[in-house]
Chains A and B, each alone.
Chain A
Amino acid sequence: NAGVTQTPKFQVLKTGQSMTLQCAQDMNHEYMSWYRQDPGMGLRLIHYSVGAGITDQGEVPNGYNVSRSTTEDFPLRLLSAAPSQTSVYFCASSQREITYEQYFGPGTRLTVT
């Protein structure tokens, strides 16, 4: 099992550009989520999904879109990048009802200039 994979590892964007952060898991987990981690702020939930075709907003959803067309994939789209979106982004997955322990990917470090 590869677990949770994220691409790219690093990305630099100019203000106004759009891009998609990829996340995939091979553990057949129902629940997937996206977090951002900023110094002194901890991990903050952006969007999450409890299964294919179902998504919902977390604490800081503005400026981001998600979709969940398959169990395995949960991409995060930045619509029009802003410097405030400079952060480290983590994708996570878990078996929703059994244990709720989340398995995190290695992260994407995004810089918006």
Chain B
Amino acid sequence: EDQVTQSPEALRLQEGESSSLNCSYTVSGLRGLFWYRQDPGKGPEFLFTLYSAGEEKEKERLKATLTKKESFLHITAPKPEDSATYLCAVRGWDTDKLIFGTGTRLQVFP
């Protein structure tokens, strides 16, 4: 059964304090791994898609990486506006469905 586990559940950072969020997955043939950002009271917003181990993608202070078993979302010198819940999802080759993790709630304090 496809499964996604995200850690930690919550993370508090000082502004400028870099860190990483983890997404471990089990899927029968990875077709894509997706990162989303969700602000309170809003729908998730797409950030990245990663397709194969070794792939990396960057957007501003965020960098996503992928191995055969997990993905990391690295946040470099975060700002308070990076505070949000970050969701990871996977899709396997034999399905049209996305399986989401429960998310990491990030708070960045000035």
A residues with CB within 8 A of B: 4, 31, 33, 35, 40-45, 48, 50, 56, 58-59, 90, 92, 96, 99-107
Listed from nearest, the 10 A-B pairs whose CB atoms lie closest are: A104-B43, A42-B102, A43-B100, A101-B46, A42-B100, A104-B44, A90-B43, A107-B43, A45-B97, A106-B43
CA distance A41 to B31 in the complex (A): 23
CB distance from B110 to the nearest CB of A (A): 27
Within 8 A of A (CB), among B75-92: 87, 89, 91
Contact present for A104 and B96 (CB under 8 Å): no
Contact B98 A102 (CB under 8 A): yes
Contact A48 B43 (CB under 8 A): no
Mark B residues whose CB is within 8 Å of A.
Answer: 31-32, 34, 41-46, 49, 87, 89, 91, 96-98, 100-103
Q: Separation in Å of the A32 CB from the closest CB of chain B?
A: 11
Q: Which one, B43, B44, B49, B100, contacts A100 given CB within 8 A?
A: B49
- Closest chain B CB from A47 CB (angstroms): 10
Q: Complex formed: what's the CA distance from A90 to B45 in Å?
A: 12
Chain A residues, Cβ within 8 Å of B41: 107
List 27 A–B pairs whose Cβ atoms lie within 8 Å, in order of A's numbering.
Answer: A35-B100, A42-B87, A42-B100, A42-B101, A42-B102, A43-B87, A43-B100, A48-B96, A50-B96, A59-B97, A90-B44, A92-B43, A96-B96, A99-B49, A100-B31, A100-B34, A100-B91, A101-B34, A102-B34, A102-B46, A103-B46, A104-B43, A104-B44, A105-B43, A106-B43, A107-B41, A107-B43
A41 neighbours in B (Cβ, 8 Å): 102
Residues of A within 8 A of B31 (CB): 100
Inter-chain CA distance A56–B96, complex, in Å, is 10
User: Could you say which residues of chain A place their CB within 8 Å of the CB of B45?
Assistant: 104
In whole angstroms, how far apart are the Cα atoms of A84 and B45 in the complex? 27
A35 to B87, CA, bound (A): 14
Query: With a CB–CB cut-off of 8 A, which chain B residues contact A90?
Result: 43-44
Quick check: B96 and A43 within 8 Å, CB to CB? no
